[in-house]
Structure 1
Amino acid sequence: MSDPVRTLHRTQSVCPVCLRRIDAAYVREGETVVFRKTCPQHGSFSVPVLRRTDGLPAFEDWQRPKTPSYPARPLTEAAQGCPFDCGLCPGHAQHTCTALLEVTLRCDMACPVCYAAAGTADVPPDPSPDVLARQLDRLREVSPGCNVQLSGGEPTRRDDLPDIIRAVRARGFGLVQVNSNGLRLGREASYAVRLREAGLDSVYLQWDGPDDAACAPLRGTLPGESLMARKADAVRHCAAAGLGVVLVATLMPEANLSRLGDLLRQALRLGPAVRGLHLQPLSRFGRYPGELLTAPRLSLFDVLAALCAQAPELVRPEHVHPPGCEHSLCSFSAVYARETGPDGTPGLRLLADGASSCCGPTSPTRPAAAPLPVPLEAAEGARRSRQFVAAHWAGAGRMPVPDAAADDFSRFLARAGVERRFTLSCMAFQDALDLDVERVRGCCIHVMRPDGRMVPFCLHNLTAVDGSMLYPDRLRPAPSVPETGGGPSHA
């Protein structure tokens, strides 16, 4: 007799066809957990969240409860309800850890996978320096001290990128990071030095696999040269300039999932300038292969299972923990110390205090009878996340040493050895098929739009089956901040 179907948690989502808000639920079907929803007009949809995999944490135990912390200065009103009022509205339950500033939609690649659908012939004009300055001023008003990532498109297509970096640094934000494919950084040895001198801390470097074959389905090829050799040049130039590097891999089941172990070992071989490996299961918005409703999908737990199977000497399920900032189903992470084996092979040793300091005490393998962790104040989780990322992903010399009055967490970050640490993390972005409004409300990664609003990353990029965007006109400035959020009407 098969196991009964059991509803674990009810929430709301959107229809992937019409983007209306609809009811949704996490449902256990035997040993599989699925996210299921039904639109009265377009029918039912489901996506797996946790497949049966021995050794992984149970869905019910993968929790990090948080007490909501609402915006001190909301920029929109709650009119139609989540996810249609972003700005952020008064009901958003988490502060900004990282703000993304899209400085261009131009790109020198035309990747088969691109969340921004960048690099086409009809991209809008770049935001002017004045528009960017107004965005940064608004961001400083509502989220002072947050980390800033300059994104695109490809930011290095802008010749004034050093000036933009200086503008961010002058406003007192935390980490200043550029999201890049690495081509210009690899081709121009002095370019990383110029960005470092302007105030850049870190490069969020697109790196989808250990070789060209693993990357080609997501990025295509470079005529006459090796894409990965060029990216390796970028790492070397960033290291020489004193920039921290985070390798960022978008994962497709049919492309590079089977190469995760090789990718992690390669990241370690590239040396201490590579501060970590960040993994992102492919979310279907922007430009992507296949169909939104039918293409193979990866969940957070699929990625963890693949890592543990392919690199058991480095990663085990009990190493990772749910986030202390965003919703528990959005990410996992672990902090390690770098080690070198007797044969010179790089290895990892788990730093247990990395989990307790960054996200508070928690255990994904909590016994069934044990109580849930005490809820963490969301604002405190955001503060710790900002500090942790700024300390571990920046280049050498950027981390200030706190004075005697600093808290234990700050002192933990300031201890010697940041360059000997390595962060392993995974973030599962949401598309129109698996969007959960509770996860949206807990989002801490917000895109600063030219009209002055701040929109969670997944909603900023969200597209329906036909390609229509929930929040269109991503680079179009507006004369003032709207009083209420936009979006489709809902039933």
Structure 2
Amino acid sequence: MPEMFPDPFSHNDRLSLCPVCLARIGARHEAVAEEGGQTVYLVKRCPEHGTFRTPVWRGEPSITSWRKPKLPTPPAPQNAPDKGCPYDCGLCAQHRQHTCTVLLEVTARCNLACTYCFASAGTGSVADDPDLPQLTEQLRKARAAAGPCNVQLSGGEPTMRNDLPAIISAAKELFPFVQLNTNGLRIARESGYANALAEAGLDSVFLQFDGTTNDIYRALRGAPLLADKLRAIHHLGEAGIGVVLVPTVVPGVNADNVGALLRVAAAFSPVVRGVHFQPVSHFGRFPHSEQQDGQNGQSWQKGPLPQARITLPEIMRGLEEQTGGLVAAADFLPPGCEHALCSFHANYLVHENGRLQRLSVQRKACSCEAAPASEGADAAKAFVKRQWAAPAASASGESPSLGSAQSEQNLQIPEALHVAAFQQGKDSDPEVFLARLCEQHAGAGSDAAGTAGQGTNDLDAFVRRAATHVLAISAMAFQDAWNLDLERLQGCCIHVSAPDGRLVPFCSWNCTAADGTPLRRRAS
């Protein structure tokens, strides 16, 4: 019998959902000593469908040290209370955080059939797409409810729409920062397309980028797409659009590739502005497996096995171990905007030799006083606008003009990116080149914050480099029906614009039961 640790939280009563019937049920955290250290499980029982145990935190840093106290600052409710959280989303009076990012889904169509897809994209036709006036009205309602936050255009695959530049322009008229969530295939394959998006006002691209080998893309996306991903990054850099690489991290597929991916991102700075890891979540479309109920050893329910999960601390430690200390798990900080258990982040200066210098303050066990949650939301909005856009746009607050001297200076394409995207000859396999690139930088280490003189000639050189070559490393753990914690959900700052104009927390909008029944999607 495994040793039981004391519960890591001062309170043990939580609320979650049954993953079978989506009924609201009680839950608790249980900490268990396992081979790799302490694992914290979310344990819940539905009277009708039994007990479910899902790992939510494995190992160090400990869950007790991972704190960022916040004073709830509820936004003005859009929805009258009825059934309670999470059924009254819109936002309801129980929500505790303002909107940092509004996500607008512009299509359900897609040019891939990914193994994992929170939106179950790929169905529908052009006729099913919301038209431009409808999307513009959704944007107006979102602006009225959320104020001048950031907006992300998503889907489906947004580039399936030929009027995407017009949608970007409509969003840019209402919001200060517009980002596109895309697999990058059209950007890679269609000459001039990235320039058209930049001219429409696009600031940044959230690029699906799962790793540095084609086997990873075959497993997750059904095709060898690495060359397309590299060309997309190159074209976006030429167009003056900032790029954030977004890997879905899946155990047994690419969890052992996070270090190589980080080294490649650093080599592609300043075009690549950040890496945003997303531990795999099980909603929408995902491979179904069976999981033992655990209550009596006889009952089985559809759901992900524990080994199909990877938690935030595992990614932090993986980054340190796989890069040989280029980054350290202790570098990463809990968020100031969303709930502490939802994400981590750290910022680094990328030196010419590939060395990373930590810019954020190293984490300590938090004993600080709680700050208003709205302050964290405001800080997050400002950071995203500054960091995830191209350097020229970040410095001036405006989108860079294509071909301008400032844009050319700040977005000079790294030689490594050019060769990776367009190399010719017998060594043209991008996998081989990226592997060699990682080997070349394997000796580069990290510098601690406050050592500005190391790796630069003087303070002026440090400041100049920091204006363009900062790399943001972060991760966000989305919740599904098995690990949903309503306390986390109520602190969410990423809100989907529903067709009826309401704002719905991302994990509530995308939550699906074991049989695929949606909690919110297509119900608004």
Instruction: Please give the TM-score of this superposition, normalised by the length of structure 2.
Output: 0.80
> Where does residue 75 of structure 1 map in the other structure?
78
Give the Å deviation of 1:108.
Answer: 0.9
- Tell whether 2:216 aligns with 1:208: no
Aligned residues: 437
> Where does residue 358 of structure 1 map in the other structure?
none
- Cα 1:120–1:327 change in 2 (3 A) is same
Give the Å deviation of 1:27.
Answer: 1.5
Q: Distance in 1 between matches of 2:368 and 2:467?
A: 28
Whether contact under 8 Å (2:56, 2:483) holds in the other structure is no
Q: Distance in 2 between matches of 1:164 and 1:316?
A: 40
Whether contact under 8 Å (1:314, 1:348) holds in the other structure is yes
**Cα displacement string for residues 209-228 of structure 1 (whole angstroms, at most 9, x for unaligned residues):** 1121122211111xxxx411
Gaps of 5+ in 1: 356-362, 403-414, 477-491
Q: Distance in 2 between matches of 1:12 and 1:120?
A: 33
User: What is the correspondence of 1:215-226 to structure 2 with a 5 Å cutoff?
Assistant: 215-221=217-223, 226=224
Give the Å deviation of 1:124.
Answer: 7.1
> Where does residue 305 of structure 1 map in the other structure?
317
| Paired amino acid for 2:191 | A
> Where does residue 333 of structure 2 map in the other structure?
321
Q: Distance in 2 between matches of 1:326 and 1:123?
A: 35
Alignment partner of 1:90 out of 70, 90, 93: 93
Alignment partner of 2:495 out of 434, 446, 458: 446
Give the Å deviation of 1:255.
Answer: 0.6
> Where does residue 29 of structure 2 map in the other structure?
26
> Where does residue 509 of structure 2 map in the other structure?
460
User: What is the correspondence of 1:426-445 to structure 2 with a 5 Å cutoff?
Assistant: 426-445=475-494
Whether contact under 8 Å (1:57, 1:365) holds in the other structure is no
Whether contact under 8 Å (1:62, 1:364) holds in the other structure is no
Give the SS at the match of 2:351. strand
Alignment partner of 1:351 out of 353, 359, 384: 359
> Where does residue 482 of structure 1 map in the other structure?
none
Alignment partner of 2:47 out of 40, 48, 51: 40
| Paired amino acid for 1:427 | M
Give the SS at the match of 1:398. helix
Give the Å deviation of 1:159.
Answer: 0.7
| Paired amino acid for 2:336 | G
| Paired amino acid for 2:40 | V
Q: Distance in 1 between matches of 2:64 and 2:70?
A: 16
Q: Distance in 1 between matches of 2:275 and 2:47?
A: 41
Whether contact under 8 Å (2:115, 2:287) holds in the other structure is yes
User: What is the correspondence of 1:84-123 to structure 2 with a 5 Å cutoff?
Assistant: 84-120=87-123
Q: Distance in 2 between matches of 1:165 and 1:147?
A: 12
Q: Distance in 2 between matches of 1:347 and 1:174?
A: 33
Whether contact under 8 Å (2:151, 2:179) holds in the other structure is yes
- Cα 1:446–1:36 change in 2 (3 A) is same
Whether contact under 8 Å (2:269, 2:471) holds in the other structure is no
- Cα 1:121–1:162 change in 2 (3 A) is closer
Whether contact under 8 Å (2:208, 2:246) holds in the other structure is yes
Give the SS at the match of 1:372. coil
Give the Å deviation of 1:400.
Answer: 6.0
Give the SS at the match of 1:60. coil
Give the Å deviation of 1:4.
Answer: 3.6
Tell which deviates more after alignment, 31-40 or 449-458: 31-40
- Cα 1:2–1:318 change in 2 (3 A) is same
Give the Å deviation of 1:141.
Answer: 0.5
Q: Distance in 2 between matches of 1:427 and 1:138?
A: 27
Give the Å deviation of 1:122.
Answer: 6.7
| Paired amino acid for 2:68 | R
Q: Distance in 1 between matches of 2:2 and 2:393?
A: 57
Alignment partner of 1:66 out of 37, 62, 70: 70
Q: Distance in 1 between matches of 2:142 and 2:180?
A: 17
Instruction: Please give the TM-score of this superposition, normalised by the length of structure 1.
Output: 0.86
> Where does residue 411 of structure 1 map in the other structure?
none
> Where does residue 383 of structure 2 map in the other structure?
388
Give the Å deviation of 1:13.
Answer: 0.4
| Paired amino acid for 1:85 | D
- Tell whether 2:150 aligns with 1:154: no
> Where does residue 200 of structure 2 map in the other structure?
198
- Tell whether 2:266 aligns with 1:230: no
Give the SS at the match of 1:386. helix
Give the SS at the match of 1:153. coil
Q: Distance in 1 between matches of 2:350 and 2:516?
A: 43
> Where does residue 488 of structure 1 map in the other structure?
none
Q: Distance in 1 between matches of 2:66 and 2:126?
A: 41
Give the Å deviation of 1:419.
Answer: 2.0
| Paired amino acid for 2:217 | C
Give the SS at the match of 2:64. helix
> Where does residue 297 of structure 2 map in the other structure?
none
Give the SS at the match of 1:61. coil
Gaps of 5+ in 2: 290-301, 398-462
Computed over aligned residues only, the root mean square deviation of the Cα atoms, in angstroms, reads 1.8
**Cα displacement string for residues 329-381 of structure 1 (whole angstroms, at most 9, x for unaligned residues):** 0000000001133xxxx2211003xx5xxxxxxx6442xxxx72111110010
Alignment partner of 1:276 out of 271, 274, 277: 274
Whether contact under 8 Å (1:110, 1:120) holds in the other structure is no
| Paired amino acid for 1:379 | S
Whether contact under 8 Å (1:215, 1:255) holds in the other structure is no
User: What is the correspondence of 1:338-417 to structure 2 with a 5 Å cutoff?
Assistant: 338-341=350-353, 346-352=354-360, 364-366=363-365, 372-399=367-394, 417=466
| Paired amino acid for 1:159 | N
> Where does residue 481 of structure 1 map in the other structure?
none
> Where does residue 188 of structure 1 map in the other structure?
190
